[in-house]
Homo-oligomer: A and B are copies of this chain.
Amino acid sequence: MTPQAPTPAYRRLSVEERRSQLLDAALSLFAHRPPEEISLDDVAERAGVSRPLVYRYFPGGKQQLYEAALRSAADELRLCFDEPREGPLLARLSRALDRYLAFVGQHDAGFSALLRGGSVAETSRTSAIVDGVRRAAAEHIMSHLGVADPGPRLRMTVRMWITAVEAASLIWLDEGKQPPAEELRDWLVEQFAATLSVTARRDPQTDALVQALAADA
């Protein structure tokens, strides 16, 4: 009985529009409660449609809906990483992080449930979707850094930072989104620069990047 925007369920939607309407309804529910607590009834109610209609789109039931919603969220998350290849590198990272943190803030509990693991909805397929996003993030970073063939030390550094960003996001949600997103973003960018500098001491490829970043700032 939560208030909701009037949904034009009577309007004829195309298959794609309907699917996307149901996924949006599911994602908005996942944002406030863990996936195991959301039923198809809840999704139908939220979208203002009948339960059979939800089943028609997701005959595999809850798990199929969850995976489709996750895939849709993963696609949205990848879009956050899109950033024109112009201007200082750390400023680009900063803008991508702004979009990422807005995404995290918006999906809240759903984002936590997903990354924390141990959810009943978690399977090797859902883990693969999440890993795909992590890989996409690493590829974006390498591409902005202009590195076509990253060595193991640089790869490890970037993947460690990405994991650390995830951890920070979860803690940030736990702490009621404190510190403010802008401060968290700046701090994450500074951590990125610092972690590269540490690796630069042992790795000529990373060292060259750090010099370039310093010249670029």
Q: Taking beta carbons and an 8 Å cutoff, which residues of A are in contact with B?
A: 116-120, 122-128, 130, 152-153, 155-156, 159-164, 166-168, 171-172, 175, 178-179, 183, 187, 190-191, 194-195, 197-199, 201-202
Contacts of A160 in B (CB 8 A): 164, 167-168, 171, 191
Other-chain residue from B161, B167, B172, B190 in contact with A201 (beta carbon distance below 8 A): B190
Contact A191 B202 (CB under 8 A): no
Return A177 CB to nearest CB of chain B, in Å: 12
Contacts of A172 in B (CB 8 A): 156
Other-chain residue from B125, B164, B198 in contact with A190 (beta carbon distance below 8 A): B198
The listed residue with most B CB atoms (<10 A of its CB), out of A124, A126, A164, A198, is A164
Other-chain residue from B116, B124, B126, B175 in contact with A127 (beta carbon distance below 8 A): B116
Contact A124-B118, Cβ < 8 Å, known A187-B202, A194-B198:
yes
Contacts of A195 in B (CB 8 A): 191, 194-195
Return A130 CB to nearest CB of chain B, in Å: 8
